[in-house]
Amino acid sequence: MDTRGNQEPRAPKSPLFGVGLSEYFDDESAGTGQPYLLPYGTPLTLSDFKAWTTADGMPGWSIDACSADGLIVTYQISPTVGAPMYATVTADGKSVLCRDVGSLRLRQLDRVTAWCDFILRTDAAGRRVAQRRAEMSDSPIESLGEIDAGFEDTWEWEENLANFKTIGELQAWLDDKFACSELKIEAFQVWPGVSSGPARDADTTLLCSREWGDVPGDAATVALDGSEGQLTPGEVAWGPRTDPYDWCKAMGDARARTGTHVTTSGSQFLSYEASNVIPMAWLQSHCRLGDIPDWGRSAWWGLHLQRTDLATVFPSGLSNLCLTFWNYGAGLHFYPTQTEFSERRNTARDHFERVWGRWLDPEVTLTPDELAEGVRHGDALLDGPCSN
């Protein structure tokens, strides 16, 4: 059954809105100059939010919608006394966090409009999970086993590192994601070493890169170690005392990205590509690694893929971490991005999916009128007719 609904762009007119919500979205649309677009994939609209009264006597809203795991729950939005534009939310009585669509930052207190949109986005994602579960329930036993194990061909995750209060929370998140792979990764804090005076000038190094591949026909015997591949110095310098904002600007000016690609066969490495990384030996000799009692959160965090000699470092408060596995965990790509960049990219992608969701959905058959309107819309975006 198609539960995605008709998700053409809609202007904020009264039939779309639940009791009292119109003024919230009218104010926000006036500020942005853009009408509100519903997330694609949910049949719910803002009119499905029903009024209720909170324990503080504040007018709030309630709605039955899917959770992220595809189960129907009751969300209740409770505006804050004295600041009714902001609210907290519960799902079946349990507190939930609102995830920003761009930065992916999690907040317990957020705008009412952000909460409504988050609930509708979660409903759309939950319906896809439920539909996938229903489809696989009619599949062969082998597929059922894969579903029970959480197995698919490709997994992708992105998380804002500011959502982790400690490096231990990041490590627990990584351990959960790496459960599908024989590879292991270690997260650690990076602190300046004990050097001072002129010696501090030596506490910087150029980020470096390395590429390495297996010999064709000999994939079963190759293994990666410190002697494989030649390090290539990059353009950007880093040290434990480097200012994170200056480093982000330098990386942007150099159009540099940091991250690691790995392909494996069982426990053997088949190929390895690391960009703008640092040798672990350098970090161990110039920095203090790990937690230091009473020092709290370091400005820099690092990741070390075990059985390699290189590490990725990044600002702990200005970064998102992207992680992709493919080929049932045999391939890995992980890389940090600047949160500011991720926010622009994710926001643009989300807007595109809201506008073009029906056109991108392989299970939807577009009508001739929809196709014609889509072509007209595309032409308008290109500021003229398409030409071969």
For range 167-185, the mean pLDDT: 94
**Least-confidence region, from 92-96, 112-116, 260-264:** 260-264
* DSSP label at residue 245: H
pLDDT band at 384; cut points 50, 70, 90: low
In which band, very low, low, confident or very high, does the pLDDT at 144 lie, cut at 50, 70 and 90?
very low
pLDDT at 147 > cutoff 60: no
State mean pLDDT over 97-109. 97
pLDDT at res. 152: 58
Q: Residue 228, Cα to own-chain centre: how many angstroms?
A: 32
Structure confidence at residue 149 (pLDDT) = 43
Q: Which residue has the higher pLDDT, 97 or 228?
A: 97
pLDDT at 337: 94
Q: What are the two backbone dihedrals, phi and then psi, of residue 162, each rounded to the nearest 5 degrees? A: -65, -15
Cα separation of 101 and 352, whole Å? 13
Q: Residues 343, 103: contact at Cβ < 8 Å?
A: yes
As a whole-number percent, the residues of the chain with pLDDT over 70 amount to 82
- Return the amino acid letter for 292: I
> Is the pLDDT reported for residue 335 higher than 90?
yes
More confident residue, 15 or 30: 30
Identity of the residue numbered 15: P
Please state, in angstroms and rounded to a whole number, the distance separating the CA atoms of residues 277 and 337.
14
SS3 content of the chain, % helix, strand, coil (to 5): 30, 30, 35
Highest mean pLDDT among 52-66, 67-81, 129-143 belongs to 67-81
Q: What is the DSSP letter of 101?
A: T
How far is residue 136's CA from residue 126's CA, in Å, rounded to a whole number? 15
Q: Are 131 and 363 in contact (CB under 8 A)?
A: no
Phi (first) and psi of residue 298, to 5 degrees = -80, 155
Report DSSP state, residue 242. Answer: S
Predicted local confidence at residue 328, as pLDDT: 83
Predicted pLDDT at 219: 41
Specify the higher pLDDT residue, 269 or 218: 269
pLDDT at 232 over 50: yes
Reported confidence tier of residue 86, pLDDT bands at 50, 70, 90: very high
Average pLDDT of every residue of the chain: 83
Helices and strands, counts by H and E, the chain: 8, 19
How many of the other CB atoms lie within 10 Å of CB of 258? 24
pLDDT in tens, 191-222: 998 654 444 445 788 888 887 775 444 443 34
Write down the pLDDT at residue 165.
95
DSSP reduced 3-state for 341: helix
pLDDT category, 360, cuts 50, 70, 90?
Answer: confident
Report the pLDDT value the prediction gives residue 13, as an integer from 0 to 100.
40
**β-bridge mates for residue 324, sequence order:** 156, 333
Residue 186 in this model has a pLDDT that exceeds 60:
yes
Question: pLDDT-based confidence at 229, cuts 50/70/90?
Answer: low
The HSE-up count of residue 244 (CA atoms within 13 Å, CB side) is: 16
Q: Please check the confidence at residue 227 and state whether its pLDDT lies above 70.
A: no
Type and span of the H or E element at 80: strand 72-80
Under 8 Å between Cβ of 185 and 334: yes
Which residue type occupies 384? G
306: left (phi over 0), alpha (psi -120 to 50) or beta: beta
**pLDDT over 60 (residue 181):** yes
pLDDT at 376: 87
Provide DSSP, 273-292: EEEEEEEHHHHHHHEEES--
**pLDDT tens for each residue of 273-329:** 899 999 999 999 999 999 988 888 999 999 999 988 899 999 999 999 999 998 888
Q: Is 90 exceeded by the pLDDT of residue 6?
A: no
Predicted confidence band at 56 (pLDDT cuts at 50, 70, 90)?
confident
| Confidence (pLDDT) at 217 | 42
Alpha helices in 178-294 (DSSP H): 244-253, 280-286
What are the phi and psi torsion angles at 270 (to 5°)? -100, -35
